[in-house]
Amino acid sequence: MSAEEFAVADTCFLIDWAYWRRRNVLPGLFRAVFVPEEVLREVKSESTLEWVAENLATGSFALFTETQDVVGFARAVVERSRMLPIRGVDLPEAVCLAIGKMRGYIVLTENRGALMAADALAELSGVRVWRSLDLISQAFRRGILGGDPEAVFMEYEEDTGHMFPPGGVEGRNR
């Protein structure tokens, strides 16, 4: 992954990441982070919306207007996810997965249904899905973050109410 790549962020990711005191490392990791219009509609809190708008103004974030083909693919993903004994994925997350598949963007999510779908569904093979855990790890690898990684992860948990699972990257084989 390089800073020349694009990412697409879903609601579950944005509404947690925005609470983190080091949230501004995100723009340095990607060429631009796309925010689907549906995701933007779901952002309601003033502070999160202000942060998103600031990044839209600088070009670090960009709006993604969902087209029919993207939504159509996403609906198929929703249906397929309900055919397996895994947690189903809902349309807003499926849209991000569809964008990840069709455009090759890295999908930023904290939604388990999305993670499961990306792992289990053949239709989504090759889609790269990153959680905050993966982003923070990447930021350290690229020297964007420094200091004690464990302390930084704890900071994230404290600021956002998120908890990284035991074993860290356990459960990911992509």
Partner 1 sequence: MGGVLSRGIERWLRLEEEAREIRRKQADWKFIESQPPRLRIALRLYVEAGDLYVASRVAGLTVEEFNELRKRARIPNVC
Partner 2 sequence: MSLEEKLEKWRRLEEEAREIRRKQADWKFIDSQPPRLRAALRLYVEMGDIRLASKVAGMGVEEFRELLRRARVPVVV
In angstroms, give the least distance from the CB of 37 to partner 1: 6
Residues with Cβ within 8 Å of residue 167, at least 6 apart in sequence: none
67 near partner 1, rule: CB under 8 A: no
Q: Sheet with 129-130: list strands edge to edge.
A: 61-64, 32-36, 6-9, 106-108, 129-130
Binding residues among 80-99 for partner 2 as defined by CB under 8 A = 84-87, 90, 92
Q: What angle do CA 26, 152, 27 make, to 5 degrees?
A: 5
Burial of 30 (0-12, 13-18, 19+ CB in 10 A): buried
Residue 113 binds to partner 2 (criterion: CB under 8 A): yes
Q: Using the rule CB under 8 A, is 49 a contact of partner 1?
A: yes
**Segment near partner 1 (CB under 8 A), from 51-59, 87-95, 103-111, 157-165?**
51-59
Which of partner 1, partner 2, none does residue 171 bind to, with CB < 5 to 8 Å depending on kind? partner 2
Any contact of residue 139 with partner 2 (CB under 8 A)? no
